[in-house]
Amino acid sequence: MVRQKQKLASNLSDTLTPLTKFYNTEMGNRVCYQAMQVHGGVGFMREFNIERHYRDVRVTNIYEGTSQLQW
């Protein structure tokens, strides 16, 4: 009984972990892109944190496998 529950939990986490990673990285990219659009050309300047966030969030798609491989 316990082993069966552990296997079910393992299968569930194996399925949901890549989906969670995909959703969060895609949403982070979308939010940073929209913030960059709101700030316009000034958003690319280093005085604003959006420049750093935009640069950092672009790399999250690659960590632990690209988002396309997660599906």
Burial class (CB in 10 A: 0-12, 13-18, 19+), 58: middle
* CA distance to 1, 13, 35, 59, per residue, from 54 (Å): 47, 29, 9, 9
Quick check: is 64 catalytic?
yes
From the candidates 26, 47, 51, 64, give the one annotated as an active-site residue.
64
Q: Which residues are catalytic?
A: 64
